[in-house]
Amino acid sequence: MNLLQLEYFQEVAKVSSITQAAKVLDISQSALSIMMNKLEAEIGYPLFEKQGRNIVITPYGKTVLHYSYILLHEMEDIQREFRELRGEENEWKLTLGVTDSNYYGDWILNLMNDYPDLQLNVLQMSREEIYENLLLGKLDFGISNGMEYYEQLDSQLLFSQPYQLLVLKDHPMAKKGSITMEEMVQEPVLSLPPSHKNRLIDNLSAAMHFRPNIVFEGNADIMEQMFHVGIGSILTCAHNRGQWMRGPREDYALLDIVGTSARYEMYLVWSKNRYRTRCARMFQDYVFDYYHV
Amino acid sequence: MLLSQLEYFRVVAKHEHISHAAEELRIAQPALSTTIGKLEKELGVPLFNRIGRNIELNDAGRRLLAHTNYLFEQIADMDAALEHTREILENELNISVSNSMFLGNWLHSFVLSNPKIRLRQKMLSESQMLEALKDESIDIAIGEFNSDEPGIVRKVLVEDEYVFSVAETHPLAGKNRVVFDDIRNVDIISLPSNATYKIADRVFAQHGCVPKIIFEGSHRMMSKLELEGKGIVFATKQMIYMMLKVALHQNQLEESEIIKVHTIADMDCRSQLCLCWKEGRELPAMAKKFIEMMDGTYPRYNQDTAFMEQYGVLWNWKGDTE
């Protein structure tokens, strides 16, 4: 097994066709075929199956594909670490997976200003996808609401705050400053669409076993517009409320949700096995500094 | 950088001694020195401190060793995962049976003799079964497939025909020769099988009437009803045979009780119990084993004369009297 084989194998698996993959990789089809046959022979299991004119990856192929990412990223890690050992610089480039794409915190803007050479690639995904991609080496960091234990992952809680309901100041409950779970069931709320993974409203309703009265589901811009004309309120927490506000804080009220201990928790997550470049260490320090952790 | 280079590096790092490492790797010492030299050149830093004739892993070397160990751990994990996948795939068997009775007293012994099996039975009609075989969502189908289907291998397990069986107390039991007119208006008990319905409908339609099926359901209920003289059972010999075997096994049938089985003299409805799979497909190992076992140890009515004698079941069909 060599690493070039694995790289080519990834491409073949991606497009499910030797012909297509050969085009992308710019090598001859027969050379690629021979290479894949050799890889199969070395691994000792069939990696692809012919199905009509196409090829389909086998369960064995899927296993090899999974590990190919780990192995290739580990090789890349060796190069990164030795580049720094030689006193050279790695690319200032980080790939982040975030559960809440609407939440960046001010620090991301500050970070980009402080490090103009930094290339940030921010991808929205579910918690599970963050874990998976960190383990495969496809992400440098994850910023995740909630964290499960994984042996190969490390994490740091950035903040933990109770869920709160953001309302306009003329909302009937604004003066009271709180809302009960019974009232929460009736309260019209706005939310991101269900396709958005790890929605706050789902987290809270799962924790409290209630069915929320969602009057609108859609993207953040429209949510914000609807919110300001009083169509519904928005579940958030103190840290994140800023993204929904247009005017000064006095125009809004944050209601405590009585009777729930569910909290909004944000974690920075990374793989224990990956080499952290100077850029990654800077990023980590920057985030920790910002959150005073 | 090649995995083989890293493999050599790992052994050198373990021994901190080129010739000992070369010995373990069974390669020439100069070749090994060259490999390590190349690796150091490629990485741009020395991995070992040379002290006289000895070598010693340095900080960079220790860093590379950590990566290398992790890489080979992952490769070992991949091999284990592949082996695990193989075990699962080889032990997976997806079957569909038109009537669970056909596997009645047999399937559990197959499962017992293959403790790692992952058996899944899908409930499908015969036509769905053929589709499922073709798209490989099942490996094997068992049922009454009486005609060839393109792309499907059909292995006949039992050459069979539809007959009637009645309890000894039933008026028809005493007759030596039964013709269709004798059963035209008799209440029929049937297995819940699409193939049986179709055949019953066809046979009765030929005589310008419809079958009067008063009960279709579990074999347990069927044998009970039959014994109480509530009707006659319309089924293949194999079905009756399996039904009786199950009934005996579950102590529902006294050894002294007698079931009489009749063919209808003026009726000919043959049926074949078949084992089917997709033509040209390399079947999973467990499926092959299953076919082999079916072929070898599957109980067939026409091979079990001892059963009839032991339980006093009187078989009165064409073949016996000839």
Which of A48, A66, A84 represents a domain boundary (last residue)?
A84
According to the model, what pLDDT value does residue B189 have? 81
Looking at CA atoms only, how far is residue A81 from chain B in angstroms? 8
Q: Which of B39, B40, B43, B68 to mutate to test the interface with A (most CBs of A within 10 A)?
A: B43
With CB atoms and an 8 Å threshold, state whether A74 touches B2.
no
Question: What residue ranges of chain A have pLDDT lower than 70?
Answer: 101-105, 197
Q: Are A154 and A270 in contact (CB under 8 A)?
A: yes
Judging contacts by C-beta atoms under 8 Å, the chain A residues touching residue B74 are 67, 70-71, 74
- Closest C-alpha among A202, A277, A265 to residue A237: A265
Looking at CA atoms only, how far is residue B43 from chain A in angstroms? 6
Q: What letter would DSSP give residue B264?
A: B
Taking 50 as the threshold, does the pLDDT of residue B182 lie above it?
A: yes
Taking 70 as the threshold, does the pLDDT of residue B230 lie above it?
A: yes
Domain shared by A183 and A256, yes or no? yes
Residue in chain A closest to B72 (alpha carbons) equals A71
Which of A35, A62, A84 represents a domain boundary (last residue)?
A84
Distance of CA B284 to the CA centre of its chain: 10
Amino acid at B160: D
Higher pLDDT, B90 or A280: A280
Looking at CA atoms only, how far is residue B61 from chain A in angstroms? 10
Q: Does residue B44 belong to the interface with chain A, where contact is any CB pair within 8 Å?
A: yes
Taking 90 as the threshold, does the pLDDT of residue B228 lie above it?
A: no
Q: Which of A47, A62, A85 to mutate to test the interface with B (most CBs of B within 10 A)?
A: A85
Domain containing A19 — which CATH number? Answer: 1.10.10.10
Q: Are B98 and B143 in contact (CB under 8 A)?
A: yes
Domain shared by A222 and A284, yes or no? no
Taking 90 as the threshold, does the pLDDT of residue B174 lie above it?
A: no
What band does B310 get if pLDDT is binned at 50, 70 and 90?
A: low
Domain shared by A57 and A97, yes or no? no
According to the model, what pLDDT value does residue B173 have? 76
Judging contacts by C-beta atoms under 8 Å, the chain B residues touching residue A66 are 78, 81
Element (H, E) at A233: strand A233-236
Closest CB to B78: pick one of A63, A74, A77.
A63
Domain shared by A58 and A127, yes or no? no
With CB atoms and an 8 Å threshold, state whether B70 touches A74.
yes
With CB atoms and an 8 Å threshold, state whether B60 touches A82.
yes
Q: Are B143 and B99 in contact (CB under 8 A)?
A: yes
- Closest C-alpha among B307, B191, B295, B193 to residue B244: B307
Judging contacts by C-beta atoms under 8 Å, the chain B residues touching residue A70 are 74
Domain shared by A50 and A107, yes or no? no
What band does B314 get if pLDDT is binned at 50, 70 and 90?
A: low
Judging contacts by C-beta atoms under 8 Å, the chain A residues touching residue B67 are 74, 77-78, 81, 275
Higher pLDDT, B303 or B71: B71
Looking at CA atoms only, how far is residue B71 from chain A in angstroms? 6
Judging contacts by C-beta atoms under 8 Å, the chain A residues touching residue B60 are 82, 85
Summarize the confidence of residues B97-115 as an average pLDDT: 81
Phi, psi of A164 (to 5 degrees): -140, 160
Domain shared by A147 and A286, yes or no? yes
With CB atoms and an 8 Å threshold, state whether A67 touches B77.
yes
What band does B217 get if pLDDT is binned at 50, 70 and 90?
A: low
Q: Which of A3, A6, A47, A71 to mutate to test the interface with B (most CBs of B within 10 A)?
A: A71
According to the model, what pLDDT value does residue B106 have? 79
Of the candidate ranges A175-184, B70-79, B248-257, the one whose mean pLDDT is the lowest: B248-257
Phi, psi of B304 (to 5 degrees): -125, 60
Q: How far apart are CA B303 and CA B53, in angstroms?
A: 82
With CB atoms and an 8 Å threshold, state whether B71 touches A81.
no
User: Which chain B residues in 54-113 lie under 8 Å from chain A, judged by CB atoms?
Assistant: 60, 63-64, 67, 70-71, 74-75, 77-78, 81-82, 85-86, 88-89
Taking 80 as the threshold, does the pLDDT of residue B46 lie above it?
A: yes
Judging contacts by C-beta atoms under 8 Å, the chain B residues touching residue A75 are 1, 71
With CB atoms and an 8 Å threshold, state whether B81 touches A67.
yes
According to the model, what pLDDT value does residue B226 have? 66
What band does B322 get if pLDDT is binned at 50, 70 and 90?
A: very low
Domain shared by A108 and A244, yes or no? no
Q: How far apart are CA B227 and CA B257, in angstroms?
A: 8
The tokens 């004119």 sit on which residue?
A53
Summarize the confidence of residues B82-94 as an average pLDDT: 89
Domains of chain B in sequence order: 3-88 (1.10.10.10), 140-279+298-321 (3.40.190.290)
According to the model, what pLDDT value does residue B162 have? 85
Judging contacts by C-beta atoms under 8 Å, the chain A residues touching residue B77 are 67
- ipTM surpasses 0.85: no
Judging contacts by C-beta atoms under 8 Å, the chain B residues touching residue A71 are 71, 74-75
Domain containing A154 — which CATH number? Answer: 3.40.190.10
According to the model, what pLDDT value does residue B319 have? 37
Number of H helices, E strands in chain A: 10, 13
Phi, psi of B52 (to 5 degrees): 60, -120
According to the model, what pLDDT value does residue A256 have? 93
Element (H, E) at A110: helix A106-114
The tokens 């160990």 sit on which residue?
B69
Which of A68, A84, A100 represents a domain boundary (last residue)?
A84
With CB atoms and an 8 Å threshold, state whether B63 touches A44.
no
Domain shared by A142 and A274, yes or no? yes
Closest CB to B74: pick one of A60, A74, A78.
A74
Higher pLDDT, B114 or B318: B114
Judging contacts by C-beta atoms under 8 Å, the chain B residues touching residue A82 are 43-45, 60, 63-64
Taking 80 as the threshold, does the pLDDT of residue B6 lie above it?
A: yes
Which residues, including other chains, have CB under 8 Å from residue A2's CB and lie 6 or more apart? B2, B3
- For chain B, give the secondary structure using H, E and C: CCHHHHHHHHHHHHHCCHHHHHHHHCCCHHHHHHHHHHHHHHHCCCCEEEECCEEEECHHHHHHHHHHHHHHHHHHHHHHHHHHHHHHHHCEEEEEECCHHHHCCCHHHHHHHCCCCEEEECCCCHHHHHHHHHCCCCCEEEEECCCCCCCEEEEEEEEEEEEEEEECCCHHHHCCCECHHHHCCCCEEECCCHHHHHHHHHHHHHCCCCCCEEEECCHHHHHHHHHCCCCEEEEEHHHHHHHHHHHHHCCCCCCCCCEEEECECCCCCEEEEEEEEECCCCCCHHHHHHHHHHHHHCCCHHHCHHHHHHHCCEEECHHHHC
Closest CB to A1: pick one of B3, B60, B88.
B3
With CB atoms and an 8 Å threshold, state whether B45 touches A75.
no
Judging contacts by C-beta atoms under 8 Å, the chain B residues touching residue A63 are 78, 81-82, 85
Number of domain units in chain A:
3
- Average pLDDT of chain B is 83
Domain shared by A135 and A8, yes or no? no
Domain extent at residue A129: 89-158+266-291
Q: Which of B39, B74, B85 to mutate to test the interface with A (most CBs of A within 10 A)?
A: B85
User: Which chain A residues in 156-185 lie under 8 Å from chain B, judged by CB atoms?
Assistant: none
Domain shared by A132 and A51, yes or no? no
According to the model, what pLDDT value does residue B318 have? 38
Domain shared by A150 and A279, yes or no? yes
Residue in chain A closest to B282 (alpha carbons) equals A49
Domain shared by A9 and A79, yes or no? yes
Q: Does residue A82 belong to the interface with chain B, where contact is any CB pair within 8 Å?
A: yes
According to the model, what pLDDT value does residue A102 have? 62
Taking 60 as the threshold, does the pLDDT of residue B128 lie above it?
A: yes
What band does B152 get if pLDDT is binned at 50, 70 and 90?
A: very high
Show the tokens assigned to A131. Answer: 């874990």
Judging contacts by C-beta atoms under 8 Å, the chain B residues touching residue A1 are 3, 75
Q: Does residue A64 belong to the interface with chain B, where contact is any CB pair within 8 Å?
A: yes
Show the tokens assigned to B68. Answer: 């290398």
